[in-house]
Amino acid sequence: MPGTNLTREEARTRADLLTVDAYEIDLDLSAARDSGTFRSTTTVRFSCARPGTDTFIDLVAPEVHEIVLNGTPLPPAEAFADSRITLPNLAAENELTVTASCAYTNTGEGLHKFVDPVDEETYLYTQFEVPDARRVFASFEQPDLKATFRFTVTAPAGWQVVSNSPTPQPEPAAEGTAVWRFLPTPRISSYITALIAGPYTAVHDEGYTSADGSRTVPLGIYCRPSLAQYLDADALFAVTKQGFAYFEERFDRPYPFAKYDQLFVPEFNAGAMENAGAVTIRDQYVFRSKVTDAAYEARAETVLHELAHMWFGDLVTMEWWNDLWLNESFATYASIACQAEALGSRWPHAWTTFANSMKTWAYRQDQLPSTHPIVAEIRDLDDVLVNFDGITYAKGASVLKQLVAYVGDDAFTEGLRRYFRAHAWGNTTLADFLGALEEASGRDLKAWSRAWLETAGINVLRPHLLTDDAGTITEFAVLQEAPPLPAGARGEAVLRPHRIAVGCYERDDVTGKLLRTERVELDVTGARTEVPQLVGRARPAVILLNDDDLSYAKVRLDEASLATVTEHLADFAESLPRALLWAAAWDMTRDGELATREYLELVLRNIDREGDIGVVQSLHRQTKLALDLYADPAWRPEGLARWADAAHQHLLAAEPGSDQQLAWARALAAAARSEQQLALLSGLLDGSVTVEGLKVDTELRWALLGRLVAAGVADEKAVEAELAGDRTAAGERHAASCLASRPTAAAKAEAWASVVERQDLPNAVQEAVIGGFVQTDQRELLEPYRARYFEVLAEVWATRSHEMAQQIVVGLYPSIHVSQATLDATDAWLEQAQPPAALRRLVVESRDGVARALRAQARDRAAGEAQGA
């Protein structure tokens, strides 16, 4: 949409010109049940450094009724165009009032409207990051033009209405409506303002009381009534209070807002959003069926991540989106540190989860053609909209963890405290953050920043060692490589300074466990770093570089260590080295250094003794992905059969009622192939077969049915019957996914049309249909859609909102068609269409997945030929 893509230069010019004082926003939501639009009136007061200059304010709205600048009406037909309102001839002090009809959305952007099929009530919530406050009220939509915001909301009487400020008592109004008049917020950015309205269920706690007893912060949790029976509010309040205590002590600064509400909302595009004092969270985190402890850990990390943002992001905010990484990386780092360190935490091994999941995401992202420095070049809003990626979150957090090791935990903490004291309620750049750390630590961080934050790509660390005939180490060094950046990536690969630990592990004769017997911590610089501390000692069973996961680098094993790990990976006594080795094995598979069939052997030999359920579930996903995409197609059926058989056996052998049992049930639901396995799924679904301890509840039922439908064993009547027993929003999504997964040409045509040819699906349902449409064992059926994808791509991008378009661009890319033909079709489209940068990035990233899969298939094929020789 022209005018919506604000550039950094435009934002800089506007920030130099304006100082924004206050917004008063009046929204009439009283007709939300029946109308597609709502009335929005915005009054904003601001000053201008150069009177007489023109500027603009942002607004995305179907219709603007009135614009009044400093008492002078401006004709909407002339002043409002391309989602901007031109403001001419500004005075030193200005007052602007804009009245418009704004639109509810079903895309998760702006003011999202949802009707719950259970009670047929309407539920609203806002989502404004990055540039969508302008869909609800006229705003200077950039993070460095902070102001106070005062909301007045008219809505149906009896609704809950929540915003950043504490909720006032509603005032009765006409015809069954009421008015909520909120107090002004502190000075914050527009993207963290919020409004949530509807007949939500609320649970309130007595609040968090600070350690010195000087202040109590009211706490609230909200969800739809149809989910209230599943809301474990006490557990959520407990995690939240742990976070309050940890962050207030760590940052030496009290929570900066008047209250803290967490609102579980439907059809949310992300995990959660850090609206000041009114955090919105996807309501899939209200678990309506049994889940493993890994799901509770992930939810707790999300809760703590958003709470950390109250200080880092909301109290102190980036000046421009090139420092988005610091917002998200810090919140990620802080949330994991809190889980690992907070008194009473259920997840003291949170860094294991981080190494297993977040860093794997970062390593994958950092090897794409779109890889970029952590401090990314953000030229405009289109750039930032596709930059919520593994580098911004996970690589940045990994580098912050290394920075803590580099400057020391005490100095890092003191630097944070200075940063918050100096910049509260303001906007900052990376230089401000590093400056505070330099003051606290006495270290010059400029060279560190250049090496780690301003370059792209990932280093590889390998051990080099020689031993004598007695097995004594005579030479040991860490070799560092900087693989060339992928074609199309900006910049050059560099060698970086790493602070790492080298761990030596031996098998205990009594327990059989692999225990660390020696640890050497050192700085790795350049291509080769000698480690004299290990010379003269007996060669251990396993040598692990980057033990304790201090740095961000891919690690490889020497031949003897790899042989031991292949047989005994699960025997490491501690979870973190196991996670690091699992991650290394997966990365080697993705890189084509380890054949898929060899990865499968590694998993099958060790997964039964892996005690971390989060790692087990990651292995389930990774193994299935490797078999679907990285295996030699000629061998793939054998590999998939072996994996399905293993899932079947582990399900039957697992401890009744355990997390392992549930995880294996879900793994089998994704992998079942044989008549016997599919019959087991059918029996579990209809109750004719039971597995001791396994509760076949709502979510598991849908997982079982989804596989049966995709395999052609169950049909649309079975889906309709299941939906009849689960007439909820989640049930409707599952049903849509199942129907799209049917292995018929008619079902595929229907699903494609609903997503591509129409535009009426809500965001969550569209995502579900895409997920059902793409089935890896339906390649032949989906083959015609490869060409159709490229035919519709440009129009989809031009006519859909960012969130909806991105779902289609990424979700429907023919990634399961791993062939040179797919690469050629992609290249031809890129050459012909010359797409905008954001669309090009999404397509190029998807293309890289196919190219990587081709290389991995070649490696697997060669391994098979070698085994058969």
Chosen CATH of 1-199 out of 3.30.110.60, 3.40.50.10170, 3.30.460.80, 2.60.40.1730: 2.60.40.1730
Summarised one tens digit per residue, pLDDT across range 803-860 is 999 999 999 999 999 999 999 999 999 999 999 999 999 999 999 999 999 999 999 9
pLDDT at residue 806, as a whole number: 97
CA–CA gap between residue 691 and residue 680 (Å, rounded):
10
Using the predicted structure, report yes or no on whether residue 715 has a pLDDT greater than 50.
Answer: yes
| Domain segments of the chain as ranges | 1-199, 202-455, 457-556
Q: What would the pLDDT profile of 626-642 be if each residue is shown by its tens digit?
A: 999 999 999 999 999 99
> Stretch 13-36: mean pLDDT, rounded?
97
Q: 444, exposed or middle or buried, with CB in 10 Å at 0-12, 13-18, 19+?
A: exposed
Q: Quick: pLDDT tens for 201-224.
A: 999 999 999 988 889 999 999 999
Report the pLDDT averaged over residues 710-720.
97
Mark 835-864 as b/e (b = at least 16 C-beta within 10 Å).
beebbbbbbbbbbbbbbbbbebbebbbebb
CA distance 694 to 662: 7
Percent of the chain with pLDDT over 70: 100
Phi/psi region, residue 160 (left: phi>0; alpha: psi -120 to 50; beta: rest), is beta
User: What superfamily does domain 457-556 belong to in CATH?
Assistant: Aminopeptidase N, middle-beta domain (2.60.40.1840)
Beta bridge partners of 156: 177
What is the H or E stretch that residue 313 is in? none
Mean pLDDT of 323-336: 94
Percent of the chain surpassing pLDDT 90:
95
Taking alpha carbons only, the member of 135, 165, 170 closest to residue 153 is 170
Q: Would you report the helix, strand and coil content of the chain in percent, each value rounded to 5?
A: 45, 20, 30
User: In this predicted model, what pLDDT tens digit does every residue of 31-52 receive, in sequence order?
Assistant: 999 999 999 999 999 999 999 9
Please name the helix (run of DSSP H) or strand (run of DSSP E) that holds residue 85, with its range, or none: strand 84-87
Mean pLDDT, the chain, rounded, equals 96
CA 154/CA 179 separation, integer angstroms: 4
> Does the pLDDT at position 869 exceed 80?
no
Amino acid 388: pLDDT: 85
Instruction: Quote the pLDDT of residue 653.
Output: 97
What is the mean pLDDT of the segment spanning 611-619? 96
Distances from the Cα of 591 to the Cαs of 81, 555, 859, in angstroms? 49, 12, 9
Mean pLDDT (whole number) for 578-593 = 95
The CATH class for the domain spanning 202-455 reads: mainly alpha
Q: By mean pLDDT, which of 446-455, 644-653, 808-817 is the weakest?
A: 446-455
Residue 2 scores a pLDDT above 80: no
Kindly state the average pLDDT of the residues 447-467. 94
> Any residues with CB less than 8 A from the CB of 261 and at least 6 apart, and which?
162, 219, 220, 221, 222, 277, 278, 279
Query: With contact defined as beta carbons under 8 Å apart, do 790 and 759 qualify?
Result: no
**Given a cut of 80, is residue 538 above it in pLDDT?**
yes
The residues annotated as belonging to the active site are 306
641 contacts: CB under 8 Å, gap ≥ 6: 673, 674
Q: Decide if 1-199 and 202-455 have a common fold.
A: no
Q: What is the pLDDT of residues 268-318, one digit of tens each?
A: 999 999 999 999 999 999 999 999 999 999 999 999 999 999 999 999 999
Which of 387-391, 456-460, 747-751 is the least confident region?
387-391
Q: What is the predicted pLDDT for the residue at 1?
A: 41
Secondary structure of residue 2 in the 3-state scheme: coil
Looking at the chain, the number of H-run helices and the number of E-run strands are 29, 29
74 pLDDT above the threshold of 50: yes
Question: Residue 3 pLDDT > 70, yes or no?
Answer: no
Assess whether pLDDT exceeds 90 at residue 139.
yes
Name the phi and psi angles at 756, rounded to 5.
-95, -40
Express each pLDDT in 479-488 by its tens digit: 999 999 998 8
